[in-house]
């Protein structure tokens, strides 16, 4: 059995897009995260310090999205995964990043899954 923490539709603001004009103004993005903590929920003892503080996760992801302009949502998704694996006690993170740019679509999205083992080995 695998325990997971889900964060759905976290709203981000980012200067992102291939054309410079698109990056000029901040855009609304949303991210869905699935975090597999190092410790099973049964071992937490009802103590926040034994789990992943999802408030901190949200704050750090929002801050990361504003750090600098990027061309690709793929880049930001990879940076989110790397940040979370480096700073939180999680085995695996799945990131789905949505961008609301094309009028003919609800959204465009990228998704990826990264693990602590691959992150530690320097692999993507």
The 10s digit of each residue's pLDDT in 65-99 is 999 999 999 999 999 999 999 999 999 999 999 99
Query: Structural domains in the chain?
Result: 5-120 (3.30.1130.10)
Taking the C-alpha atoms of residue 85 and residue 79, their distance in angstroms, rounded to an integer, is 10
**Mean pLDDT score, 37-45:** 89
Q: 29: which residues sit within 8 A by CB, 6+ positions away?
A: 11, 12, 13, 14, 16, 65, 73, 76, 97, 98, 99, 100
């Amino acid at each position: 059995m695998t325990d997971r923490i889900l964060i759905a539709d976290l709203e981000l603001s980012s200067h992102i897009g291939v054309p410079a004009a698109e990056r000029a103004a901040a855009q609304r993005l949303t991210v869905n995260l699935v975090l597999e903590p190092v410790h099973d929920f049964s071992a937490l003892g009802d103590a926040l310090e034994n789990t992943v503080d999802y408030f901190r996760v949200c704050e750090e992801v929002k801050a990361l999205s504003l750090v600098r302009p990027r061309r690709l949502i793929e880049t930001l998704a990879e940076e989110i995964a790397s940040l979370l694996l480096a700073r939180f006690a999680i085995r695996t993170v799945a990131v789905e990043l949505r961008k609301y740019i094309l009028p003919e679509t609800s959204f465009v999205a990228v998704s990826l899954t990264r693990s602590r083992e691959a992150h530690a080995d320097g692999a993507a």
